[in-house]
Structure 1
Amino acid sequence: MDQSGDRPDDTAVSESAARAAQELRVAFSLLRRRIREVSGTQDRTQDLTPSQISALTLVSKSGAATASALAVAEGVRPQSMATTLAALDRYGLIRRDPDPGDGRRQLVTLTDAGRERVEGTRQARSEWLARAFEERCTEDERQTVIEAMALLERLTRS
Structure 2
Amino acid sequence: MADAAPIQSDADLAHLARVVREGVGRLNWRMRSESDSDSPGPAVLAVLSRLLRAGTHTPKELADAERIQPQSLTRILAGLTERGLVTRTPDPRDGRRHLITITPAGVDVLREYTGSRERWLSGALERALTPTERQLLGLAAELLVRVADA
Q: Same fold (TM over 0.5)?
A: yes
Distance 2:67 2:149 in 1: 23
Distance 2:55 2:149 in 1: 25
How much identity, in percent, do the aligned residues show? 34
Distance 2:53 2:74 in 1: 18
What TM-score results when the alignment is normalised by the length of structure 2? 0.77
Q: Which of residues 105, 109, 114 in structure 2 aligns to 1:113?
A: 105
Task: Return the index of the structure with the highest Cα Rg.
Answer: 1
Q: How many residues align?
A: 143
Deviations 1:51-90 (A, max 9, x none): 2222222222231111121112222332221111001111
Structure 1 residue 33 and structure 2 residue 29: aligned?
A: yes
Q: Which amino acid aligns with 1:35?
A: M
Moved more, 103-112 or 119-128: 119-128
Q: 1:111 to 1:146 in 2, by over 3 A?
A: closer
Secondary structure at the counterpart of residue 68 of structure 2: coil
Root mean square deviation, CA, Å: 2.7
Give the match for residue 4 of structure 2: none
Deviations 1:74-111 (A, max 9, x none): 22332221111001111111111121212222110111
Distance 2:149 2:66 in 1: 22
Structure 1 residue 71 and structure 2 residue 63: aligned?
A: yes
Q: 1:71 to 1:15 in 2, by over 3 A?
A: closer
Deviations 1:112-132 (A, max 9, x none): 110111122222222221111
Secondary structure at the counterpart of residue 18 of structure 1: helix
Secondary structure at the counterpart of residue 96 of structure 2: strand
Structure 1 residue 89 and structure 2 residue 85: aligned?
A: no
Give the match for residue 20 of structure 2: 24
